[in-house]
Amino acid sequence: MVRRKRRGMSLIEVLAAVFILGVGLTSISAMFVAGIISSEKAKRISTALNAMQQQMERIRSAGFSGCSVDPDIFKSAEGYSIIEQHSDMTGKVGFTVPALPNGQGVIDIDFYTSPSGYYPNLKNVTITITWSGGGVTAGRMAMQTLIANRP
């Protein structure tokens, strides 16, 4: 009897190769998805940070007297809305961040207080921006500064 040499692969070998290839491709595709999500989150954080810095520079350039919750300073025509206003011109101002999905910002202006007391010549300004975006790409960021009344 003459035996022929077998050429090709058995069904088991083909199934094993397909299984290993499938596991590898699944892992690689999961890394691509994670990379895309991470990139989108970084882009949104950068956009929020830029928006906060713009608002903070606007407030800093206005100085202590311009750091007041006043409709003449935060005009609705410029996209601001007074959320809360106290008699001492402190409170909260809202604004939108159109570059972020459902991007909303709040500027909170109040006089600085510490355990040692109240400081009428020092204002505490906190800017907070929140946005939605489907789970892990949603976020919230805040920035805070003090504005002094220099004689």
> Could you write out the DSSP letters of every residue in 86-115?
-TTS-EEEEEEETTSTTEEEEEEEEEEEET
Asked whether residue 6 is assigned to any structural domain, the reply reads no
pLDDT, the chain, mean: 90
- Our count of domains for the chain comes to 1
Q: What is the pLDDT of residues 89-124, one digit of tens each?
A: 999 999 999 999 999 999 999 999 999 998 999 999
**125, 131, 136, 142 alpha-carbon torsion, rounded to 10°:** 0
Two structure tokens written together for 3: 């035996």
Answer whether residue 5 is part of any domain: no
8-17 pLDDT per residue, tens? 778 888 899 9
pLDDT at site 1: 62
> CB–CB of 127/143 below 8 Å?
yes
Mean pLDDT: which of 24-28, 35-39, 88-92, 147-151 is highest? 88-92
In terms of residue numbers, what domain contains 114? 11-148
User: Nearest 5°: CA angle at 56, between 61 and 64?
Assistant: 45
